[in-house]
Amino acid sequence: MKTVRVFAPASIANLGCGFDIMGLALDEVGDVLEMSVSEGDGLTIKNESGVPLPEDIEQNVITPVVRKFLEMTGNRAQVDVVIKRKIYPGSGIGSSSASSAAAAFGMNELFGCPLSEEDVVVCAMEGENLASGGYHADNAAPAVMGGIVLIRGYEPLDLIKLPVPGDFYCAVIHPKLVVSTKEARSILPKKVDMHAAIAQWGNVGGLVAGLYSGNIGLVGRSMRDSIAEPYRKSFIPGFDELREKVLESGSLAMNIAGSGPSVFALANRYEKAQRAGAIMEKHFSDLDIPYECYVVKVSNRGARLTAY
Amino acid sequence: MKTVRVFAPASIANLGCGFDIMGLALDEVGDVLEMSVSEGDGLTIKNESGVPLPEDIEQNVITPVVRKFLEMTGNRAQVDVVIKRKIYPGSGIGSSSASSAAAAFGMNELFGCPLSEEDVVVCAMEGENLASGGYHADNAAPAVMGGIVLIRGYEPLDLIKLPVPGDFYCAVIHPKLVVSTKEARSILPKKVDMHAAIAQWGNVGGLVAGLYSGNIGLVGRSMRDSIAEPYRKSFIPGFDELREKVLESGSLAMNIAGSGPSVFALANRYEKAQRAGAIMEKHFSDLDIPYECYVVKVSNRGARLTAY
């Protein structure tokens, strides 16, 4: 029997203008799995995280990920997984992706790394498909690869790791509002205004240019979503007022994380991200909405072996 | 009296996926103006280029550019312009922008460079407005600044000069078909399919990333326009077959230049661009459509003083 302990980070998809094509890994916050393989043919998943999860392993995102790995690599084995740490599902910071990425990365480690990083993402996307009915990579790719990942396209999958500025911090708050990904998707129109679309790809170009050139001001100016945010912000009480306060306090940008209801701010100093976090906490506290808030460095570290 | 001779390059707007937000300067091909200022208050434009242009100076793009410069800088003067070399209007390679950019750059030189490069673009955009009824920068900005320019947004104008790979060549052909910019614009829908829009901004991200990282393959993969090209290619007989041949011959991409009917190919070797040019020439020759074809290096040089 061989055992590994793996960590995969939480992540933020739909990075401002990067709706459906970009995601960012959050360091420190994430899932921890202990995974073992031995001779045989089966799968067990034990949840020691304290976070309620479905008992049926067919409902757990880890299951299709493990199966996909075995199928892709032509292996069979008894796989036993213990969930040690778990982000709350529905948080909007890639809870399912963190488990999926950890499972895919862990399997690859257990079998001597037969798969490329991109194929590890492909495995992790099986978990996304179970969770949301679609093969999305905007959380799964950063959760595996770390940093900021651009998904140029899906046919074929084309993942580009973008440079992360040296000083880049993120405050993210998960207000405990119930917004399903399905509901957040169905509110979006099937067709978008040409002008809004052009503004969006101008900003995507600006964001990528800002990340490569280390031009933090340009990154901030480009973090505008003309497509999804105008609709989805209606799920988040006081979104516009909150953003105004967060930007006034020195953050570069504030946007919806994934399909919401989490909200995140980016800043070029830790203190500014802390300030944004405090403003966001007060906002939801005043509204009597419970929340969880994290202030972390954006790093290049993705899924990895861990001792904890 | 003070005199300068200025060159401004032809340019290609709507760089593949960069519809309405990107343009590229072509070296060598362009307009040459001789401009003089003396005491007084007036404007003359003499056309020695051999290319037919309207006699009425109110119809010449140089006029609003010169006036805008004088207004922005608070000057008055007698300005005399001689058009020495001129790209054929309607070529789809930024004929009006080359004149506008040369005029704006020339005025700035004559008055000791009071305007920033961005403000020189603002002046040149007055010519674009006369030519096409809109303040576009996707030809004017590269014609002034050179290289590949991203227009992140217009309010305020946000121009980002993107890095040009060391070996980057362009073949561009102007088939003498009559397609007005107005007609090419009116064929486009006011709303676009969400999936096509997402594909477009994924590609914009990929193109910018490819240019910064010098990943020529990524540049090529990203040069896909899901928005305008599917409509506008109907103006260009045999567009799909032509592209297939050009790509088979080793070019990275082939797309419509501006609103057409010109077509351009990008390549990472001069010989490949020459091959693309030859294929494009044969294509239009076989169709009995007259053309002009250029094969040039994509360079960082924009408007400049010249001896010729």
Residue B183 in this model has a pLDDT that exceeds 90: no
pLDDT at site B125:
98
Residue A15 in this model has a pLDDT that exceeds 80: yes
Q: Which residue has the higher pLDDT, B57 or A184?
A: B57
* Arithmetic mean of pLDDT, A171-198: 88
pLDDT at site A91:
78
- Exposed/middle/buried for residue B304 (C-beta within 10 Å: 0-12, 13-18, 19+): middle
Contact residues, chain A, for B153 at CB < 8 Å: 199, 202-203, 206, 221
Q: Could you tell me the pLDDT band of residue B5, with boundaries at 50, 70 and 90?
A: very high
From A246, A245, A239, A173, select the one nearest A26 (Cα to Cα): A173
Which tokens in the block code for residue B273? 């661009």
Residue A259 in this model has a pLDDT that exceeds 90: no
pLDDT tens digits, one per residue of A124-175: 999 999 998 889 999 999 999 999 999 999 989 999 999 999 889 999 999 9
The C-alpha atoms of residue B196 and residue B227 are separated, in whole angstroms, by 7
In one-letter notation, the amino acid at residue B237 is: P
- Among all chains, which residue has been given the structure tokens 């790093």? A299
pLDDT at site B184:
75
Chain A contact for B281 (CB, 8 A cutoff): no
Contact residues, chain B, for A191 at CB < 8 Å: 191-194
Please, are residues A191 and B192 in contact by the beta-carbon 8 Å criterion?
Answer: yes
Q: Could you tell me the pLDDT band of residue B70, with boundaries at 50, 70 and 90?
A: very high
ipTM > 0.90 for the complex: yes
pLDDT tens digits, one per residue of B75-113: 999 999 999 999 988 778 999 999 999 999 999 999 999
Contact residues, chain B, for A204 at CB < 8 Å: 201, 204-205, 208
- Which position among B34, B109, B128, B229 bears the catalytic label? B128
User: If you average pLDDT over each of A277-286, B23-32, B85-94, which comes out highest?
Assistant: A277-286
Residue of B nearest to A209 (CA): B208
Residue B308 in this model has a pLDDT that exceeds 80: no
pLDDT at site B109:
98
Residue B182 in this model has a pLDDT that exceeds 80: no
Under an 8 A CB cutoff, do B190 and A189 touch?
Answer: no
Q: What is the mean pLDDT of chain A?
A: 94
pLDDT at site B7:
97
Under an 8 A CB cutoff, do A205 and B20 touch?
Answer: no
Residue B169 in this model has a pLDDT that exceeds 80: yes
Residue A5 in this model has a pLDDT that exceeds 90: yes
Q: Which of A21, A158, A190 sits opposite B201 (nearest CB)?
A: A21
Cα distances (Å, whole numbers) of residue B174 to A84, A121, B260:
64, 44, 8
Contact residues, chain B, for A218 at CB < 8 Å: 152, 158, 160
Residue A178 in this model has a pLDDT that exceeds 90: no
The C-alpha atoms of residue B221 and residue B252 are separated, in whole angstroms, by 8
Chain B contact for A194 (CB, 8 A cutoff): yes
* Arithmetic mean of pLDDT, B256-272: 94
* Arithmetic mean of pLDDT, A294-306: 92
Contact residues, chain A, for B197 at CB < 8 Å: 192, 197, 200-201, 227
Chain A contact for B151 (CB, 8 A cutoff): yes
Size of chain A, expressed as the number of residues it contains: 308
pLDDT at site A166:
87
Chain B contact for A187 (CB, 8 A cutoff): no
pLDDT at site A65:
98
Contact residues, chain B, for A205 at CB < 8 Å: 18, 21-22, 150, 152, 160, 204-205, 207-208
Please, are residues B258 and B92 in contact by the beta-carbon 8 Å criterion?
Answer: yes
Please, are residues A69 and A105 in contact by the beta-carbon 8 Å criterion?
Answer: no
Q: Is the peptide bond before A114 cis (omega within 30 degrees of 0)?
A: no
Contact residues, chain B, for A198 at CB < 8 Å: 19-21
Q: Could you tell me the pLDDT band of residue B127, with boundaries at 50, 70 and 90?
A: very high
Chain A contact for B141 (CB, 8 A cutoff): no
Under an 8 A CB cutoff, do A17 and B201 touch?
Answer: yes
pLDDT tens digits, one per residue of A73-114: 999 999 999 999 999 887 789 999 999 999 999 999 999 999
For residue B52, count other CB atoms closer than 10 A to its CB.
10
pLDDT at site B151:
98
Q: CB within 8 A of A90, min separation 6: which ones? A: A178, A179, A180
pLDDT at site A123:
98
pLDDT tens digits, one per residue of A220-252: 999 999 999 999 999 999 999 999 999 999 999
pLDDT tens digits, one per residue of B191-221: 999 999 999 999 999 999 999 999 999 999 9
Residue B186 in this model has a pLDDT that exceeds 90: no
Which tokens in the block code for residue A220? 């901030």
- Give the distance between the most distant pair of CA atoms in chain A: 59
The C-alpha atoms of residue B236 and residue B95 are separated, in whole angstroms, by 19
Under an 8 A CB cutoff, do A150 and B200 touch?
Answer: no
Percent of chain B at pLDDT exceeding 90? 87
Supply the residues of A annotated as catalytic. Answer: 128, 181
The C-alpha atoms of residue B267 and residue B213 are separated, in whole angstroms, by 17
Under an 8 A CB cutoff, do A160 and B197 touch?
Answer: no
Under an 8 A CB cutoff, do A189 and B194 touch?
Answer: yes
Task: Give the 3-state DSSP-derived string for chain A, with helices as H, strands as E and coil as C.
Answer: CEEEEEEEEEEEEEECCEEEEEEEEEEEEEEEEEEEEECCCEEEEEECCCCCCCCCHHHCCHHHHHHHHHHHHCCCCEEEEEEEECCCCCCCCCHHHHHHHHHHHHHHHHCCCCCCHHHHHHHHHHHHHHHHCCCCCCCHHHHHHCCEEEEEEECCEEEEEECCCCCCEEEEEEECCCCCHHHHHHCCCCEEEHHHHHHHHHHHHHHHHHHHHCCHHHHHHHCCCCCCHHHHHHHCCCHHHHHHHHHHCCCCEEEECCCCCCEEEEECCHHHHHHHHHHHHHHHHHCCCCEEEEEEEECCCCCEECCC
The C-alpha atoms of residue B276 and residue A96 are separated, in whole angstroms, by 48
Interface size A-B, in CB pairs within 8 Å, comes to 130
Under an 8 A CB cutoff, do B202 and A153 touch?
Answer: yes
pLDDT at site B12:
95
Which of B19, B150, B208 to probe by mutation at the A interface, max A CB count within 10 Å?
B208
Under an 8 A CB cutoff, do B201 and A199 touch?
Answer: no
The C-alpha atoms of residue A83 and residue B51 are separated, in whole angstroms, by 75
The C-alpha atoms of residue A24 and residue A180 are separated, in whole angstroms, by 21
Chain A contact for B227 (CB, 8 A cutoff): yes
* Arithmetic mean of pLDDT, B32-56: 96
